[in-house]
Structure 1
Amino acid sequence: MLFSFEFSPIAVATLTFLLAGFVKGVIGLGLPTVAMGLLSTVMAPAQAASLLIVPSFVTNVWQLATGPRFGALARRLWPMMAGVVVGTLAGTGFMQGSHAGQAAIALGVALMAYAVLGLTAMRFAVPPRAERWLGPVIGAVTGLMTAATGVFVIPAVPYLGALGLPKDELIQALGLSFTVSTVALAAALAGGGSFETGTAGASALALAPALIGMSVGGWMRGRVSERMFRRCFFLGLLALGAHLASRALI
């Protein structure tokens, strides 16, 4: 059976989704990044990604549904979303079997890259004429990264941030990208035999701590300096990514 955990992994999973939900509540993203990084220290990446599916889907649909311009964003971003689906399905099996060690290394590297981008506050700009060809490429690369690591922030988040969207539209665009990535990841894991009925039940149980954490994070958003929180968050991701990559190499 896929999820035959002792007390410690269950406790780790519960605390992980509380923390991951809290981070998402404060800064609007980070649930899969935190969850995959921490869960991969106590279980295989494919197991961690399977636990992630329901909390990620529900919280991202919530984020997507609260934005102002879903139709316009969907029409603008559909080539990127198609690339995400194709890339994720093409990478089916990357996290499983003999690829698990490489997946852990890739996850560590992805976390470090994301942390460095966040700490340096690098900003990019994508000209409108480049969106037609660049969007599908970014989507496909994001899909391959999703299939290999369970994390769908690189390079999707920097790309969406470079489109110059207003704040509310950017949050909704991130929700759209994360939702499509979650569904594509679930399909890839199901195709590889890692996301089954029992797994879906375990993932559903992880939803409650994720929603509690997200609610607390939303409450804390106006009471803590977001700049300081983001700095601590990215430094933590950098250390976690280095730990995962080095552990997989040893």
Structure 2
Amino acid sequence: MTILFEQPALIIFAFVMIGLLAGFVKGAVGFAMPMIMVSGLGTLLSPELAIATLILPTVASNLLQAFRTGIRAAYESAKKHRLYLLICLSMILVTAQLVTSLERWVLYLILGIPVTFFATLQLIGWRPSINPGNRRPVEIGVALFAGSLGGLSGTWGPPTVLYLTALDIAKRENLRVQGVIYGAGSVVLLSAHLKSGIFNAQTWSLSALMLVPAGIGLLSGMAVQSKLDQAKFRKITLIVLIVAGLNLIRRGVLG
């Protein structure tokens, strides 16, 4: 906990606001909490601390999303997409162990490039499609990539969203599958970083503190979800993510 309170007041204020924003967006549109946290916190803290901080809020919000429509429905979704889940979770577990051995500038690029790239794809409205005959190799390839990205950056949502969009499944089922993949992945990420040492006696309290603003933001977002212009709000969110991602890239390039 002292890690945060050793920071200037402006940093503490920014920490709280990032948590509120990430939670609000998650509650309102159902995505982007890790992307907002990792891009926002990455501009204030070290990449390792940014990843550690997002873990507990991500676990809590994703489990809520996964089980919102019931345990049975979540189980059926997990069963239907078990290959994707197995590969993605395995890669998160493996690649998370590499974070502590990477140079800081490399981590900034790993955090910034995917956020910028996938936010841009969503902003321009690119909608992929999958030939039924190629579904299995595409599923394996995307799961390998998403899991690797998740272990290194703490966010595996963007490629997962693109994959599920390409499958053209019903929106309700899409959100539930996302919740299951994110929920299971966040639990694995927690376990992986307990082993890597990133989530430790010093950083867990920082992550626990983030639960408060993120939780308040989440409940607020859920409360106003039906009143928002979803398309406009989503567009603004993506633009903010692109700007934050470009700033992380800048820090990586400049060292």
TM-score, shorter chain, exceeding 0.5: yes
Say which SS state the counterpart of residue 66 (structure 1) adopts.
coil
> With structure 1 as the length reference, what TM-score do the two structures score?
0.92
Report the CA distance between 1:112 and its aligned residue.
1.0
User: Is residue 2:79 matched to residue 1:75?
Assistant: yes
Which letter maps to 1:3?
A: I
Q: Percent of aligned positions with the same letter in both sequences? A: 25
Match of 2:3 in 1: 3
2:176 and 2:132 map into 1 onto residues whose CA distance is 19
Count of aligned residue pairs for this structure pair: 250
> Where is the helix percentage greater, Structure 1 or Structure 2?
2
Report the CA distance between 1:209 and its aligned residue.
1.0
1:104 to 104, 108, 112: 108
Between stretches 214-223 and 114-123, larger displacement belongs to: 214-223
Say which SS state the counterpart of residue 42 (structure 1) adopts.
coil
Match of 1:157 in 2: 161
Gaps of 5+ in 2: none
Instruction: Assess if the C-alpha contact under 8 Å between 1:2 and 1:47 holds in 2.
Output: no
> With structure 2 as the length reference, what TM-score do the two structures score?
0.90
Which letter maps to 1:169?
A: E
Report the CA distance between 1:244 and its aligned residue.
0.9
User: Is residue 2:98 matched to residue 1:63?
Assistant: no
1:124 and 1:32 map into 2 onto residues whose CA distance is 23
2:138 to 134, 137, 144: 134
Say which SS state the counterpart of residue 221 (structure 1) adopts.
helix
Say which SS state the counterpart of residue 180 (structure 1) adopts.
helix
1:1-250 superposed matches below 5 A: 3=3, 5-6=6-7, 7-67=9-69, 69-250=73-254
1:164 and 1:227 map into 2 onto residues whose CA distance is 19
Which letter maps to 2:82?
A: W
Report the CA distance between 1:236 and its aligned residue.
1.2
Between stretches 165-174 and 220-229, larger displacement belongs to: 220-229
2:223 and 2:98 map into 1 onto residues whose CA distance is 38
Say which SS state the counterpart of residue 206 (structure 1) adopts.
helix
Which letter maps to 1:101?
A: W
Report the CA distance between 1:28 and its aligned residue.
0.6
1:97 and 1:85 map into 2 onto residues whose CA distance is 21
Q: Deviations over 1:37-94 (max 9, x none)?
A: 0000011111111111111111111100013622221111111111112211221344
Gaps of 5+ in 1: none
